[in-house]
Structure formats: C-alpha cells, structure tokens
Amino acid sequence: MSVSEFSLIERYFAAHRFQRSDVALGIGDDCALLLPSTGQQLATTVDTLVSGVHFFAEADPESVGHKALAVNLSDLAAMGATPAWATLALTLPQADEQWLAAFCRGLFALADRHGVQLIGGDTTHGPITVITLQAHGFVSPDQALRRDGAKPGDGLYVTGTPGDAGLALAAAFGKTTVAASHENYIRARLERPEPRIAEGLALRGVASAAIDVSDGLAQDLGHILERSRVGAQLEVERLPLSPALAASLDQETAVVTALTGGDDYELCFTVPPERTSQLESSVAEWSCRCTRIGVITAEPGLRLIRTDGSILHLERRGYDHFGCSSLQRS
C-alpha cells in the first residue's frame, strides 16, 4: 500500500510535539508564523547533504538525521548564535518508513537537546536522497562571531581533534587500517559530529573571528585570513591529534589529515592577547579540548611551520565540492 506525502509529514514530522514559545504556528500550514526576539539579530544558515556525496547510501539513517542538523548547528555555533528553528526539504527515492523513523529519531534527539523546533519544510520524490536543512538562531547585535575580525598578534585556536572524520573516510575506502579499539570512535566523529554550540556562545566577546571546520582546517582558516586581510603562522606540531589518528597514520600523514580532512565540525577561531585569560577561564567549562595552534600575522598567506623551522607544503587544503564529486576525497 502506497503512503502519501501528507501522511508521512503528519506521522514523522508534525507528530513531534516539541514547542517553542516563539513559534505561533508550526508544521501544517503554508508558512510557519514566528515571533522573533526583540533586539536580536537572526542568524540563518542552510546545508544540503546528498547521498553518495556527503553520506554513504547505506549509512545508518539515524546518524544521517543527526548529521543533517548538526552541520547547520555548527554554522550557528561559529557565529555565536543560540539555535531556535529549522526547516527541512527532503527528497527520497521511495517512502521507506523504517528509514524515515530512524532518520527522525536522530534529527529530533539532537534538535530537542539544543532547543530547536522543526517549523516546516517539504517532502518530495526524486532519484536519490537529498536533504536540505535550514537552521535559524539568535545573537545580540555586535556579538556575532564573524570571519573578518582577526588582527595581527591574535592567537589561533581550534577545538577538539580535527582529522578524525578524514581518518574514518580513509579507512572506509581501504586507504588505511584502524585498530578495532578506535573504529567506533572515528565512525562517530564522521557520522555524528557534535556541534560546538556551548563553546561558540562562550566565545562571544572573546574571539575576534571564528569559522566552523567543515572542509578542512587549512582551507577554512584560509577564509578567515582572506576576509580579515591577514596571514597566519600555524605550528604543525601543536595540532591536537586524537589517539586514533596518531596510532593509525605516520606523523606527517596524520598532520596532513588534520589540516585537510574535512567533516570535523570543530571551531577555528582567533583571540586577541588581552582576552587570552578570559578564554583560559572559559575553556575549563568546555566539553572538548581547545588548543592554541599558531598566531595571526600581518603578512598574508598561511605558513605551516615545523619545529625545525621548515615549511610544510600541502597539495590541497581541503574539500572542494566541484573538485571532488563523491565521498572519496582523494
């Protein structure tokens, strides 16, 4: 028996009853009616995940639902915004209710944890699974973390351990072997990234610039440098490598993976010297590590410095959607 689009919406999306006080009307009408907070700026972001490009076709649908929202929340975190609402456009090759139920479990578990209400969207049929999710959040005027505020002398930092998702992809394509004790960890880092919402909020008034690391640390840092019209010196031996990454690859390959792997959804940010003590006090409350990896310079460009003073040169800095058409990021 075929299932209609509208019964799918009612059963799997409208039936979730989490309700924010700033939503006057949610799923079920032509538009949602919202009550934006007075004196706040609305931060808006959107990401698309395509089967075979951003996730494996056979991936756990609960993890796919989690990641679809997580990558958007990561953008809000990078702006220092508090998450509020989301809309979802979902294209499916077939109405697989078991897949949808698991997808929604992952999506709504993360949404509820961060106080996000799904307020609308669209469901349609197509040749492959395509997930487009838009997230909205709030930030006070002049409090948003932007890419264009870094100054020479600012410290350069990153949260977590970049490169783990890149290691998971390398293992999935048989390019490296990972010990069984690390397999669940790296799979979770790829399939269920944790958006650094609390850390982004804590960086308001502290960081001078920030970005989330989705396409590779070196590449995303380059966006800060370009927008701020500065350069950076990054000390490669300071990069925080997870035990899984350090144990699975030689030192040079591990460093390159941490710099270029992508799918990390960590925060890269800069902090003026006079605010370093504020950062250090804040980090004690964070759920992830925070590592100083370099300094912002007046001279343009990114220089990757080894301990012996030599320069590490990268063949590529990260993921390019039009330079690489599938999950296999060579």
Taking only the tens place, the pLDDT of each residue in 78-110 is: 999 999 999 999 999 988 889 999 999 999 999
Residue 217: the pLDDT is 97
Residue 320 has pLDDT above 90, yes or no: no
**Domain 5-139 in this protein, CATH class:** alpha beta
Domain ranges of the chain: 5-139, 155-305
Overall average pLDDT of the 276-291 stretch = 95
According to CATH, the topology of domain 155-305 is: Phosphoribosyl-aminoimidazole Synthetase; Chain A, domain 2 (3.90.650)
Overall average pLDDT of the 103-129 stretch = 95
- Please write down the HEC assignment for all residues of the chain: CCCCHHHHHHHHHHCCCCCCCCEEECECECCCEECCCCCCEEEEEEEEEEECCCECCCCCHHHHHHHHHHHHHHHHHHHCCEEEEEEEEEEECCCCHHHHHHHHHHHHHHHHHCCCEEEEEEEEECCCCEEEEEEEEEECCCCCCCCCCCCCCCEEEEECCCCHHHHHHHHHCCCCCCCHHHHHHHHHHHHCCCCCHHHHHHCCCCCCEEEEECCCHHHHHHHHHHHHCCEEEEEHHHCCCCHHHHHHCCHHHHHHHHHHCCCCCEEEEEECHHHHHHHHHHHCCCCCCEEEEEEEECCCEEEEECCCCCECCCCCCCCCCCCCCCCCCC
Q: How confident is the model at residue 318 (pLDDT cuts 50, 70, 90)?
A: low
Determine which of 28-32, 115-119, 191-195 has the lowest per-residue pLDDT on average.
Answer: 28-32
